[in-house]
Amino acid sequence: MNDYPFDKILVTGGSGFIGSTYIEKILKEYSNFEILNLDKISYASSPRTNALFNSYDNFSFLKIDIADRKALESAVLEFSPSLIINFAAESHVDNSIKASEDFIQSNIIGSYNLLEVSRKIYDSNDNFMFHHISTDEVYGDLLFDEMPFTEENQYKPSSPYSSSKASADLLVMSWGRTYNIPFLVTKQ
Ligand SMILES: NC(=O)c1ccc[n+]([C@@H]2O[C@H](COP(=O)([O-])OP(=O)(O)OC[C@H]3O[C@@H](n4cnc5c(N)ncnc54)[C@H](O)[C@@H]3O)[C@@H](O)[C@H]2O)c1
């Protein structure tokens, strides 16, 4: 087993599709870290994931909405992570077209709250990193015969979901530039 390069990992949205796969993989393949999953538990969460992970001593879970600044800040500061990996999002385009409010709260305000608490963590740990999970949908639509997007493409989000994710990306990049927080934005 290899050591994981971060000793305290805060995962948001770790009860969803991709976050739970990430947690499962690192729990099984790496050692020497603690992991805390914060998830509000929504229709998109898998009820079996926390039950599955609870057998690991280095895993814990708190039911928290990242849009709730107070609850979030207190949990994150107490855990004091060296890595925050933000999977939490309202993620279904069709739902965002029907009702966008939850997308603004989770995807934009939630990311903003995480960045603000990251500033406090980074003040006392300069090995800290913020890893934000984004989407290629920030680049807009692709016609069948067009070349795939690259990171050089311009942002052209075309739904409430993708514009909320694009907004969060811009916040992350600007918090990195303004407050020097080391960050990574992954688009899949
Ligand atoms: N699934 C895909 O095809 C895909 C593609 C590109 C990018 N992404 C991005 O990857 C990330 C994970 O996607 P997924 O498919 O696992 O999503 P998902 O909908 O399966 O899971 C999201 C999880 O986040 C939680 N969550 C949502 N809002 C929250 C909040 N305010 N506070 C705390 N928890 C909250 C939900 O309860 C859920 O457990 C998202 O950021 C999404 O935008 C997904």
Task: Give the closest residue to 13 by CA, choosing from 73, 67, 66, 87.
Answer: 87
CA of 140 to the centre of ligand 1 (A): 19
Q: What is the CATH number of the domain that holds 78?
A: 3.40.50.720
Residues 127-175 have pLDDT tens digits of 999 999 999 999 999 888 999 999 999 999 999 999 999 999 999 999 9
> What's the rounded Cα separation, in Å, for the pair 16 and 86?
12
Q: Assess whether the C-beta atom of 100 lies below 6 angstroms from ligand 1.
A: no
Task: Return the ligand 1 atom nearest residue 45 CA.
Answer: 39
pTM attached to this predicted model: 0.97
> What's the rounded Cα separation, in Å, for the pair 52 and 54?
6
Q: Which domain holds residue 75?
A: 2-187
User: Using an 8 Å Cβ cutoff, are 151 and 135 in contact?
Assistant: no
Residues 100-139 have pLDDT tens digits of 999 999 999 999 999 999 999 999 998 999 999 999 999 9
Task: Return the ligand 1 atom nearest residue 165 CA.
Answer: 43
User: Using an 8 Å Cβ cutoff, are 11 and 37 in contact?
Assistant: yes
Count of structural domains within the chain? 1
Query: What's the confidence (pLDDT) of residue 84?
Result: 98
Residues 48-80 have pLDDT tens digits of 888 889 999 999 999 999 999 999 999 999 999
Q: Assess whether the C-beta atom of 40 lies below 6 angstroms from ligand 1.
A: yes
